[in-house]
Amino acid sequence: MRKFGRIGVLMGGLSSERDVSLKSGKAVAYALKKAGIDVAAIDVTDINSLINDIKNAHVDIVFIALHGKFGEDGTIQGMLEENGIPYTGSGVSASRVAMDKVRSRELFQKEGLSVPRCIVLNSHSQKRGRHTCLSSDVCLPYIVKPSSQGSSIGLSLVETEDKLKKAIDLAYKYDDTVIVEEYISGKEVTVAILNDKPLPVINIVPGRRFYDYNAKYKSNSTRYICPANLGRREYKRVQESALIAHKCLGCKSFSRVDMILKEDGTPVVLEVNTIPGLTSKSLLPKAAKAAGISFEKLCLVIARSAETYAEKIKK
C-alpha cells in the first residue's frame, strides 16, 4: 500500500444533507483508520474558517465526504484548488454542472442519452417556462424537485393537479429553480462508476410506489438487487449510458448515475451524483462489494484520486 500521509475527511457541511454527510464521513474515517491511515475528521460548520481548519489539521490530502450545496457543487473544490490542497473526486466544473439538473440534462441530450421531459420554473420570474433544450410536453403524474438538491430532499410525486402547487412550494424551499418532470414508469436502477469504469448495476425496489427520502433512509422494505436481474443487452446498455453520462460532465474517479429503465429497454438518465453516499450501506459501496471490493478498499481507491492530484501539484 502506498503512503498517503495524513488524510483530512470533510463531513457535515451546511446543506440540507448534513446528517447524511456526517454518516458518510464517519464511515470513511473509520475505514481509513482501520487500513492504517492517519486520519483527521473535520466537521465543516463554518465556510470562512474551513481552509484554516484544514491547514491546522496538517493534512496532505482531503477526502471530500460532503453532500449537497457547498460540498458537491464545486464550491469547496474551488477553495481547495486556490489553496493548492489535493482532494478526492471530480473537479470544479464537473461538480457544478452535475449539481445543476437542468444544465446536466442538456449535456446528456447532446450525447444522445434519454432524459425525462420537463418544465423548468424559476422563483424570481414566478412564470412557468421551458428550457431551450427540454420539452414542455409533460402530463400527469409529475415528479417535482429542486434543480440542485440530492437525497430526494424537496421531491414529490404529484398525481392530481390540486397537489401541484404544494409540491412546487416545497421544492422552492430548497432552490430557486424547480423541475416539473414526467413520471416515468419502469425499473429504478443506478450504476456506480469507479476509476471511470462502471460497477455492477443495482435495481432499487422500494416498498412503496416511489423511491423518495423515506424509502431511501427510513423504510425497511426497500430492496436492492445487485447485480440487477436484467437481460444481457439491457444490462450493458444501462452501464454504457451511465459511463457516457459520467464522462460527458467531466467527472473523475467516481460517481453514481441514477436512471429509470423503461419497459422498452431505454435507460432514462435522471442525474449524476459526484459524491454519492459513502456509508457501508450506501449504493456505491453495495456495487463495489458486488465487484469484490470491500468498503475499506473502496475508500483507499477513492483516496488515491487525491494522491494522484497531489503528485501533479509537486511536479
Residue 181 is a catalytic residue: no
d(CA 145, CA 16): 14
Rounded alpha-carbon distances, angstroms, from residue 132 to 129, 135, 183, 244: 9, 8, 21, 22
- Give the angle subtended at the CA of 140 by the CAs of 137 and 141, to the nearest 5°: 125
Tell me, yes or no, if 72 is annotated catalytic: no
Catalytic residue among 71, 91, 277, 304: 277
Please answer whether residues 12 and 21 qualify as being in contact, where contact means their C-beta atoms are separated by less than 8 angstroms: yes
- Cross-strand partners of 212: none
Could you give the domains of the chain? 6-88 (3.40.50.20), 97-113+185-274 (3.30.470.20), 118-182 (3.30.1490.20)
| 234 labelled catalytic | no
Please give the single-letter amino acid code of residue 173: K
Active-site pick, 21, 147, 148, 151: 151
pLDDT of residue 130: 42
| Amino acid found at 180 | V
Q: Phi-psi region for residue 235, left (φ > 0), alpha (ψ -120 to 50) or beta? A: alpha
Peptide bond into 141 cis (omega under 30): yes
273 included as an active-site residue: yes
User: Bridge partners of 8?
Assistant: 40, 62
271 in catalytic set: yes
Catalytic residue among 271, 282, 305, 309: 271
Conformational region of residue 171, where left means phi above 0, alpha means psi within -120 to 50, and beta covers everything else = alpha
Q: Which of 16, 258, 305, 307 is an active site residue? A: 258
What pLDDT score was predicted for residue 141?
Answer: 87
Helix residue ranges per DSSP H, the chain: 18-34, 50-56, 75-82, 92-99, 101-110, 164-172, 213-217, 232-248, 283-290, 295-314
Strands 197-198 and 186-194: antiparallel
Annotated catalytic residue, options 17, 181, 182, 212:
17
**Active-site residue, from 147, 273, 282, 305:** 273
One digit per residue, pLDDT tens: the chain, 315 residues?
Answer: 456 799 999 999 988 889 989 999 999 999 999 999 999 999 999 989 999 999 999 999 999 999 988 889 999 999 999 999 999 999 999 999 999 998 999 999 999 999 999 888 887 654 444 443 344 567 788 889 888 766 567 888 898 888 888 888 888 888 888 999 999 989 999 999 999 899 999 999 976 666 655 555 555 678 899 999 999 999 999 999 999 999 999 999 999 999 999 999 999 999 999 999 998 679 999 999 999 999 999 999 999 988 765 555 555
pLDDT the model gives residue 311: 55
Q: Is 151 a catalytic residue?
A: yes
**202-205 and 223-225 beta bridge pairing:** antiparallel
Q: With contact defined as beta carbons under 8 Å apart, do 54 and 81 qualify?
A: no
